[in-house]
Amino acid sequence: MSGSPNAILEVRDLHTQFSTLDGVVRAVDGVSFEVARGETLGIVGESGCGKSVTAMSILRLIPPETGRIASGSIRFEGEELTTLSEEQMKRLRGHRISMIFQEPMTSLNPVLTVGTQIAENVVRHLGVSWKAARERAFEMLDLVRIADARRRLDEYPHQLSGGMRQRVMIAMALSCDPQVLIADEPTTALDVTIQAQILDLMIELKEKTGTAIVLITHDLGVVAETTERVVVMYAGRKVEQATVDALFEEPLHPYTRGLMRAIPRLDVEADAAGTRPRLQEIPGLVPILTQPIVGCAFAPRCGFATERCRRERPPFVDAGAGHLVACWEIDSVRRVA
């Protein structure tokens, strides 16, 4: 199965595993998706579902002492990344694919000014002079709407607020015009009003630069407001994939449905008496990933599960217009509103 010509990044049947004292953790267990040029793809799921490990696998940042990409393929602009040397990957990271993380303070160097850090990336990848790179750093800080950018070039990370540090990370990530930006929980550590500013900035810059964004988050609100397509992950596997409108209009996988009903909604009116509606709980716990999962990973917590669900891993079915769902009982699920 070869990807569409429009895909810039194709992940096929990715398996990433970690060796621990308790056994082999199948953190990513056969995940496939592609990212089209200039699109925003959301990867959503709860802790331990493998969303961050998927991102780290794409950038080949899995620590070799404990983890490895066991099998599968990751193609970027047609080039296979899983077999590239570390030197070749270094030329790619921060240049054609870049990444921002939840906590910018841990990714910024505390003893270098932000101007130097951005310029360093530009010099390394684009081979321009320091003077030109510093000018580029200024342009980037200005682009991410840091006020008084010229002066901020000479400041250190600790002198900036959390929101500003995340802007600096975005400036650095975009400084070499990457084709893909991977953002792992970029606003989770930020306050609500600052989160809104950063999300708006990312969307605006994406439209300006044409960089595709892979946005990894646990927050369905962030997904709904910023992405175009969504992959839902559970226990290391993709369970559903759809356009953002289709996913929120009619979630099809029982897990996705469960998630959406478990969150308190800001946009749902309480009744006149102010009665608090009960949130729907998902019973049980996520499976332990050191044990092989037979059948559907969600079956033990699923109200629709049958004998077949516990025995055979469900294939993806196209429920219409590319809305993919891995569920044997999709017909029964659909009958229930």
Partner 1 sequence: MSDGPVLQVEGLVKHFPIHGGLLQRQVGAVRAVDGVSFSIRRGETLGLVGESGCGKSTIGKVVLKLIEPTAGRIVLGGEDVTALKPGAMWPHRRRIQTIFQDPYSSMNPRLASGTIVGEPLENFGIARGAERDERVAQLFRRVGLRPEAMRKYAHEFSGGQRQRLGIAKALSVNPDVIVADEPVSALDVSVQAQVLNLLIDLQEEYGLAYLFISHDLAVMRHISHRIAVMYLGRIVELTDKRTLFTQPLHPYTEALLSAATAPDPKRRRKRKKIVQGDVPSPARPPPGCHFHTRCLYATAECRMTVPPLIEVAPGHHVACLRRPVGGDPGPLSIPG
Least Å distance between CB 326 and partner 1?
19
Least Å distance between CB 222 and partner 1?
5
124-126-132-134 Cα dihedral, nearest 10 degrees: -50
Least Å distance between CB 197 and partner 1?
6
Q: Which stretch binds partner 1 (CB under 8 A): 148-156, 240-248, 287-295, 320-328?
A: 240-248
Least Å distance between CB 253 and partner 1?
14
- Which residues have a Cβ under 8 Å from the Cβ of 269 and sit 6 or more positions away? none
> Which of 5, 127, 274, 315 is the binder for partner 1 (CB under 8 A)?
274
Least Å distance between CB 80 and partner 1?
34
Instruction: Round to whole Å and give the CA distance between 153 and 142.
Output: 10
Told to check if 28 binds partner 1 by CB under 8 A, we report no
Q: Please answer whether residues 21 and 67 qualify as being in contact, where contact means their C-beta atoms are separated by less than 8 angstroms.
A: no
Told to check if 223 binds partner 1 by CB under 8 A, we report yes
By rule CB under 8 A, what string of x and - marks binding of each residue 154-183 to partner 1? -------x-xx-------------------
- Which residues have a Cβ under 8 Å from the Cβ of 265 and sit 6 or more positions away? none
Residue in 131, 165, 141 with CA at minimum distance from that of residue 123: 131
| Residues 103-142 within binding reach of partner 1 (CB under 8 A) | none
By rule CB under 8 A, what string of x and - marks binding of each residue 203-222 to partner 1? ---------------xxxxx
Instruction: Round to whole Å and give the CA distance between 316 and 302.
Output: 17
Residue in 154, 163, 160 with CA at minimum distance from that of residue 118: 154
Cα separations (Å) of 233 from 47, 176, 325?
A: 10, 31, 11
Instruction: Round to whole Å and give the CA distance between 330 and 304.
Output: 9
> Which of 248, 250, 300, 306 is the binder for partner 1 (CB under 8 A)?
248
> Which of 5, 281, 321, 335 is the binder for partner 1 (CB under 8 A)?
281
**Contact residues for partner 1, defined by CB under 8 A:** 46-47, 161, 163-164, 191-197, 199-200, 218-226, 244-245, 248, 258-260, 262-267, 270, 274, 276, 278-282, 285
